[in-house]
Amino acid sequence: MTTTRARLMKRTKRWALILLGSSAVLLVPWMVVLAVTLPASTEVHHWSLAWIGLDVLMAAGCAATAVLGLRGDARARLTASATASVAVLDAWFDITTSPVGRALVEAVASAVAEAGLAVACVFLALSKGRQSEPVVRG
């Protein structure tokens, strides 16, 4: 990589990080606005589609991570990261949208399974094993 290109990449990364930090700060007042203005309950159209969509994303992430990982493709770390995020979001919404009682117990049980999936995905995302060789089938 040329010196000019390296400097441009470093500057771009720095600005991206500054943007992320600024976004974190700006989201705080936005969360306060939402907490004050959002209704306590609402009617949701396409409720089942929203839930199925999260599960489709999670299944696709699991499949992509498995295929890429078994092929030794380093991009499996990216799909594992995304899949962990989807699993955590699914667990969050399961719990926070469930009424008290049996539905909440079921949501918590599902969240435990999703947390296990998220932990496995984070492990894969952070692993630094050899990425250049596919997994040998034995």
Chain segment 12-71, per-residue pLDDT in tens: 999 999 999 999 999 999 999 999 999 988 888 998 998 899 999 999 999 999 999 999
Q: How far apart are CA 84 and CA 10, in angstroms?
A: 28
Of residues 58 and 2, more confidently modeled: 58
Q: How far apart are CA 52 and CA 36, in angstroms?
A: 30
Q: Model-level pTM greater than 0.85? A: no
Residue with tokens 């990982």: 69
Dump pLDDT digits (tens) for 98-138. 999 999 999 999 999 999 999 999 999 999 755 555 656 66
Which pLDDT score is estimated for 129? 58
The amino acid at 8: L
Tokens at 48, concatenated = 């089942």
